[in-house]
Amino acid sequence: MKKKLFQSCLFLALIGLLIIMPVGRVSAQTIGNLQVSNLSNDTVTYSYDQLFAMPQTTVVASEYCYGSLVTNGNWGGVSLTYLLQQSGLGPTVASINFLAQDGYAVSLQIQDALQPDVIIAYQLNGVLLSENLRLVIPEENGNMWIAMIISITMSTTIVSPGSSGGLEVTIPTNTFPPSNSPTPPPTKTPTPTPSFSSSPTASPSTSSSRVQIWNYSTGNSVESSPTIFDGVVYVGSEDGKVYALNAVNGVQIWNYSTGSAVFSSPTVVNGVVYIGSYDDKVYALNATNGNKLWSYRTGGPVVSSPAVVNGVVYIGSYDSKVYALNATSGAQIWNYTTGDYVRSSPEVVDGVVYIGSSDVKVYALNVANGVQIWNYSTGSAVVSSPHVVGGIVYVGTENAKVYALNAVNGVQIWNYSTGNSVESSPTIFDGVVYVGSEDGKVYALNAVNGVQIWNYSTGSAVVSSPHVVGGIVYVGSGDSKVYALNTVNGAQIWNYTTGGYVGSSPDVVGNVVYVGSQDGKVYAINAGSAISSKIPTTYIIAAAAGIITVIVLALALGRRKINLQNNHN
């Protein structure tokens, strides 16, 4: 028994050494080919050598089985996006189907399949996989990590959401559960950053460990804030156009030309894109093809962004008015005249329209007829858009203040003074008000009393409005950067440098940050944590410690065996 234990310990030690030792390229003659088919029924067959010759992407991810860790580390392989693009990926692809040698199959929605950290892996920690090729899809159940892949097929079929989101699994009748793909519960792991870009217009661009997924060049500055709906990015540009872009790869689906610059940000409801233009009009466009459904002419430029509630479009105009329009026909229901132009965008809550005006007032209007319920004079122009949470209206003003007003009667609850104008619109999350200022700072304020929790200094004015998700504040700055800040203490997590002033407000969907810049581009930026392309030092230390322990144990058992033999003799 002791002899077997001794041999087992030595064997484990050797296995441990092999795990952390760099492994060179080995023969792949016994590994089958991978076939990838596109919508034109063209099939490209890749040998293992060809896959190995492609740009390698490395991600760090953990595979779990029934709640237990199976393995983790640096998975190396080919970006699925890169592989599909090489094989004729088209804009109408809706899902990707994978088939394993044993008949096991999975399908992914295209937006899941083309996430930048999804790869076809052929090695783990530098060691070639015994299962040849495996789909690595971080943050998903292990049953999606299909192995022994022999074919990948692009499809126009929309995958029905299942237990793993937009994913489907087909289990072969002769195998249950499939031996190559255990089924764990969802486990969140940091989303890694791959080493490639799927931008249709640019090569990879990084800044402070961010990876640009794609960018799309319009004809002029983009101060409009993107809206992402059903896998499409809708945004306006100062070139006078409204764009619809594929959220995964940035490919243009359609564009519509208005008569002037588009600063307004789109709202998408029931298949219709509502947006304003500097040509004095409010537009309703078909979200699928960009065809105009109707337009309504106000008396001045429209930079306000629409709110659409219960079949009514609410929006402000430079003609000093707030409009309520029928969402189906564009017919005016009512309008309300303030004392100056209205750049602020409305918020509709509990039958009340809240909006600011350059006449220094914040207004509360009856949603049905536009009758004023109350107004509050701030003392300076209100360009910021109100946000209402918990019966409190939060808004910024040009006199450098952030206000909290009672939503029922407009009475001031508190105000906080920044160092310059506040055109940024407040975002309230978990009892904290996040807002930018033209003093170059992003502020976090207590929503109840306005006490500052923290502030973070960027390099220039912040008119972009923060987006808060997953414990991170995403916001743009006039220093051309997009920032990701810790919600708790304001510490910078990362920043990404665009080519111009970022007044656009980010939208975050999944693990992607979408934002516009005055360099004329719309960006899709990976929001995940930075990942080293090398095996993490902690893994090496842990593995080394384990090996040392095993060797010591083996030597101790060996010494004891020798002593027992001597005593016996």
Q: Give 449's pLDDT tier (boundaries 50, 70, 90).
A: very high
pLDDT at 461 over 90: yes
Supply the pLDDT for residue 473. 96
Q: How far apart are the C-alpha atoms of 521 and 243, rounded to whole Å?
A: 11
Q: Give 33's pLDDT tier (boundaries 50, 70, 90).
A: confident
Radius of gyration of the chain (CA): 28
Supply the pLDDT for residue 558. 55
Residue 154's identity, in one-letter code, is M
Contact 543, 19 (CB under 8 A): yes
Range name among 160-174, 361-375, 519-533 with the lowest pLDDT average: 160-174
Supply the pLDDT for residue 551. 57
CATH architecture of 32-193: Alpha-Beta Complex (3.90)
Q: Which residue has the higher pLDDT, 486 or 94?
A: 486
Q: How far apart are the C-alpha atoms of 403 and 189, rounded to whole Å?
A: 38
Backbone angles phi, psi at 343, to 5 degrees: -95, -25
pTM of the model: 0.61
Q: Where are the domains of the chain?
A: 1-30+536-569, 32-193, 223-350+366-374
pLDDT (tens digit, 9 = 90+) per residue, 39-66? 888 889 888 788 888 888 888 888 765 5
Residue 225 DSSP label: P
Task: Please state, as a whole number, how many other Cβ atoms lie within 10 Å of the Cβ of residue 41.
Answer: 7
Contact 220, 262 (CB under 8 A): no
Range name among 8-22, 34-48, 230-244 with the lowest pLDDT average: 8-22
Supply the pLDDT for residue 111. 81
Cross-strand bridge partners of residue 74 = 60
Q: How far apart are the C-alpha atoms of 304 and 347, rounded to whole Å?
A: 11
Which of 85, 92, 82 has the alpha carbon at shortest distance from 246?
A: 92
Task: Please state, as a whole number, how many other Cβ atoms lie within 10 Å of the Cβ of residue 397.
Answer: 23
Task: Please state, as a whole number, how many other Cβ atoms lie within 10 Å of the Cβ of residue 203.
Answer: 8
> What percent of the chain shows pLDDT beyond 70?
77
Range name among 32-41, 310-319, 340-349 with the lowest pLDDT average: 32-41
pLDDT (tens digit, 9 = 90+) per residue, 118-160? 999 988 888 888 778 999 988 777 778 888 899 999 988 876 5
Which of 467, 322, 325 has the alpha carbon at shortest distance from 382?
A: 322
Supply the pLDDT for residue 70. 76
> What percent of the chain shows pLDDT beyond 90?
58
Q: Which residue has the higher pLDDT, 134 or 18?
A: 134
387: Cα separation from own chain's centroid:
23
Residue 143 DSSP label: G
Contact 388, 347 (CB under 8 A): yes
Would you call 314 helix, strand, or coil by DSSP? strand
Supply the pLDDT for residue 444. 97
- The two beta strands, 149-155 and 34-37, are parallel
Which of 442, 524, 451 has the alpha carbon at shortest distance from 485?
A: 442
For 69, 239, 245, 330, 384, the CA distances from 308, given in Å and listed in that order, are 46, 25, 22, 12, 18
Q: How far apart are the C-alpha atoms of 391 and 389, rounded to whole Å?
A: 6
Contact 47, 27 (CB under 8 A): no
Contact 515, 221 (CB under 8 A): no
Q: Given CA atoms 483, 484, 485, 487 in this order, what sign does their dihedral have? A: positive
What average pLDDT does range 364-389 have in this prediction?
97
pLDDT at 463 over 70: yes
Cross-strand bridge partners of residue 427 = 434
pLDDT at 74 over 80: yes
Provide the strand spans (E) within 418-539: 427-429, 432-436, 441-446, 452-457, 467-469, 472-476, 481-486, 492-497, 507-509, 512-516, 521-526
Q: Give 164's pLDDT tier (boundaries 50, 70, 90).
A: very low
Contact 482, 226 (CB under 8 A): no
The fold for domain 223-350+366-374 equals Lipocalin (2.40.128)
Q: How far apart are the C-alpha atoms of 446 and 424, rounded to whole Å?
A: 17
What average pLDDT does range 502-513 have in this prediction?
93
Task: Please state, as a whole number, how many other Cβ atoms lie within 10 Å of the Cβ of residue 39.
Answer: 15
Q: How far apart are the C-alpha atoms of 61 and 488, rounded to whole Å?
A: 26
Backbone angles phi, psi at 9, to 5 degrees: -65, -45
Exposure b/e, 417-437, CB count within 10 A at least 16 = b: ebeebbbbbbbbbeebbbbbb
Crossing angle for the helix pair 2-20 and 537-568, to the nearest 10 degrees: 160
Q: Which residue has the higher pLDDT, 47 or 427?
A: 427
Q: What counts of helices (H) and strands (E) characterise the chain?
A: 5, 44
Q: Give 534's pLDDT tier (boundaries 50, 70, 90).
A: very low
For 247, 386, 560, 561, 562, the CA distances from 565, given in Å and listed in that order, are 72, 85, 9, 6, 5
Backbone angles phi, psi at 529, to 5 degrees: -75, 150
Mean pLDDT over each residue of the chain, to the nearest integer:
81
Contact 274, 266 (CB under 8 A): yes
